[in-house]
Structure 1
């Protein structure tokens, strides 16, 4: 248990907190663990950035920190091997540490022989001695390999070039899904080498549009960008709740979004109609809805 002290923690204290925290340690958890003031939190943000630049820490999708070369406390693993002794070994599905080979984690199965090579699991990880142990939380559905890339045309045929500079593969396109040369697309791969083909599942448009940079980062880091069915069901239940006293229901107003088509989000909208109040002859009623202004 950490005793809050005045001022910022040292680099060593932060590394120790990250390593021993029972929950994924993001900036909020670190600030709370050391009892930092609002002013200290500004300094903490800069300190964490310096530590990342120095190669001391890295961050997982969702902004939880772990030691550089380490593994997030909860992450997706792929079963890589089952040895002669029946021990199951897994590796991180995504590994971004350059120059450091991905670690192998020994999986503690609840039922022996339940997991096979190639399967994906969501697991809680812990460092044990000089190695790592994974405790499976959930077996995940198989992941079809997806590639984010740009279409190009050559000799009347479409090709997909991936945006990841570390893996500049090209694939023949079997189904463009309405996309055209120059479009940024998300595609699924099918077949076996050397006859792997791409099928476009989502057309994303101009690869140089502002929103495309976010999409490329999301894909590269494996950040979830699709709501689970559980989350959608919960949102559906919430949408049926009645409004509290003193609140006016404006959901039937035909409010129109005014953000450009290539905006990163669409959260600015307006509504207007002629005012039929005789005291305001020729006037209008208007509502401006700006989501990020309180």
Structure 2
């Protein structure tokens, strides 16, 4: 029995149904009831139906329940992020979490509509199955203090487990999830040696986030069976041969998986832009062992000292990667733009390309911005193409800004490693014109694909981004007003204008961060609700199928439509069944990857700063709380915390209306953006914390 048929029946029944009532309604024999139980269980796991205390089944929407993921806060409360992008987040107070942990998939009941406050009533799927933490002891009981700050449950080590001692760092598997206010029970899987380097610390982190260590043997065998040396000419059949086009990849110096390349031509009416994307779908078929593993991983994870790829390196770094001067199978989006940047025509087709050069962002910047004579001479034949790319990039960027796209140009940390893999420095990663060129061209291709599939009413995975919620906007407005650069209340529709107003001022970076913090996270959904950040009515991810699973799905759907000229009703129905789960899982794995990437950077920061205790630095306040200040250093792209108790020159009070800390005697005030001089007081490798004191 199909899940959708059963769900539709339960919805139309108008009342809670028993297992017997459902079985009788479908006239099932005793031998068929086992399959019914399995289908009902699947619907329960997916959060589409609920089983009440009497054992009766009813659809979730009938009882005004919301399914989604729980985002836990270290102070005990949290939010349920609904599966449907049309639903607003639900605040869950500490007493109503039902023991849910960060990342758990849950069902919540909305109890206060105006406040969007609710209660978790069922945990559908546990996200945290293994934890890494430090062993502590209280009398005869040993327990684990998790490294993840948003896990605030007590975790007791099962009696009789392997011998551990206080201070040990362990990997443990949770064996018993108790009700709220009762400890979890875990068994020890591994005791780690105390890390002696950041590389060893990041290795522990990979266990903490349950990242895969290697590919299953079945996947390796399939990949070995592919021809890994070169693309054969017989594979060119039914493809547009674009090897004569002047095509380049533009990536970072250390990139190995090249999944996009670009070509450009200027015409009397405007521009023709070709965006060529690695045709991963040619090699990775639906439900093959490689596909199943890629779907589970959902994304590549990029850490400072390693990459955990979605696809085996033989594919991601070789056969699918658009290596220089090598024929490669691609999927091309050919876009014809007018002089004003209006997209007049778009073509999609399988192709074969051969790049002329493997360019880097640094090299292209030297040509276009620095006008470096040596670099210009080295790539003389390509210089006119880069100049055309820069021209089109500027046109597209301005057009996107005018429609309300948020143009954040926020610096990100870059860890410079020595030969041993230890951090030499942590700096602001430079973003230059070359980055913007690739960014604009990929946005254009993603929009073109999304609009095409949407116009054909074909099921698809969209990249969606909802408007920020009113409470976040009020909070943001209050802080920015306190900075003295805003008089009226800020509306989401005015964000892009305000970003332009503060551009080039001392407040630019701080305002950008504050606005970014107020926004929801973008995610994947089969429902198209638009992309607020890009001011796009229709957006998807198509341009990185080597490292993102949703892109691979979109490739397959588009290719199937182009080959057959339609998507059959049966196929549509199948896609509508599987896409919601793929969207939910991919969004979840993306968040996990973001978390582990942030933590890996923090590990590098604390190891870098551990030898600098006692040293003094200039910095800037990036966040104010009643407990103290977050401070980012000027010399290095590193943040630490300055507790109020370490601000000994006065007694400081937090003003939540002005969002600042003010000294009662000297009236010294600290708010976001305030310059500050600090001394490194303490660095904790275990807690991944850098503590400052006032200089």
Hey, which of these two has a bigger chunk of helix by percent?
2
Name the one with the larger strand percent: 1
TM-score (norm 2): 0.16
